[in-house]
Amino acid sequence: MNILHAALALTLAAPAVAAEAPAAALSAKEIYAKDAKSVVLILAGRPSGEGELGTGSVIDAYGRVLTNAHVVVDDRTGRPFPSVRVYLKPAKISGDPKTDMRDGIDAKVARYDRRLDLALLEPTRAPGVPALVLGDDAGVEPGDPVVAIGHPEQGGLWTLTQGVVSTVVADLGGVKGKNAFQTDASINRGNSGGPLLDRSGAIIGVNTSMARKAADGLTITSVNFSIKSSVARAWVGGENLPADVATTSPAPAPAAAALPPAPRTKPRVLTPAKPYRIDDVVEREMKEMEDLGNEMHDEIQRRAARPRGRRVRLRSGKPGWPRPGSRPS
């Protein structure tokens, strides 16, 4: 009987041992194929056409997006931009921003913390893509391979770069609890808020900043920073993290108290001629939104002046863009 009990105990224990086995290492190409569809392009701006372009990661079944606060919070007001939209990756990248940015969804800023440089967005509809896993960064060490997916200015959309973790940095920028990884994986403006992924495809960091020029003018290369996933998880909810947020382990600490906003500075970017400029994309999208709003307003006025019963057709414009000022803040 004791032998039978021992055998049964071994049988029940086997699945637990298998579940704790480390995830298989994926190639950069495999990570991109698995995760890129859950990485979004974020466009946030004012009706005047000025704004920011960045990257974000879908982290739950509702489609909530984790990104940097500086992507969606206006420096001038300290509050979220009035218009925020996320764009889903097309099945195949064409290389033409106008073509690749067809699937857009309006979103609102649910939470943000400018000192930690984190924000959580809620799209108006679920994007229907898998949630990326917020990984456990406790075992990440210098030399571990990583990849980043984002939309670097002077580069292409949904760009893949790779490198290694260079070191760890405590209290990045002097902000208590803003612990980060330094990486040589290429990160530029437009990558902000995007994921730094380990070889299992799990998020271990939120890309936030880079160093490009020293105070004396010396060019700096391969020094980029990514807020640790443990910091992001604690901020999103800590031990009370919503059940549908994908994680690989329990959150290590409860959420910290909200801190007052801090000013942001933009690094100087030294790169050659580029396929697209962030300012051009923001201006074009905001102009198309305004043109569609004006067109719809004029058509409504024409309808009101026509006899009842006559049917007219609205010319379709940019899908989903509301007239400036019409979407909730």
Whether 105 has a pLDDT exceeding 50, the answer reads yes
Percent of all residues in the chain with a pLDDT value above 70, rounded to a whole number: 62
Distance, in Å, from the CA atom of 160 to the CA atom of 115, rounded to the nearest integer, reads 27
CATH of the domain at 124: 2.40.10.120
Give the predicted TM-score (pTM) of the model: 0.69
Helix locations, 103-214, DSSP H: none
The answer to the question of residue 179 being in a domain is yes
The answer to the question of residue 199 being in a domain is yes
295 band by pLDDT with thresholds 50, 70 and 90? low
Distance, in Å, from the CA atom of 113 to the CA atom of 235, rounded to the nearest integer, reads 9
Higher pLDDT pick, 175 / 285:
175
The answer to the question of residue 270 being in a domain is no
- For 14-70, the pLDDT digits (tens) are 333 334 455 679 999 999 999 999 999 999 999 888 899 999 999 999 999 999 999
The answer to the question of residue 52 being in a domain is yes
Residues constituting the chain:
329
Higher pLDDT pick, 173 / 219:
173
The answer to the question of residue 180 being in a domain is yes
The answer to the question of residue 274 being in a domain is no
Q: By residue range, what is the domain housing residue 98?
A: 28-240
The answer to the question of residue 108 being in a domain is yes
Count of domains forming the chain: 1
Report the SS3 class of residue 203: strand
Distance, in Å, from the CA atom of 85 to the CA atom of 41, rounded to the nearest integer, reads 8
Distance, in Å, from the CA atom of 201 to the CA atom of 181, rounded to the nearest integer, reads 17
Which residues form the catalytic set?
A: 70, 117, 192
The answer to the question of residue 313 being in a domain is no
- The mean of the pLDDT values for the chain is 76
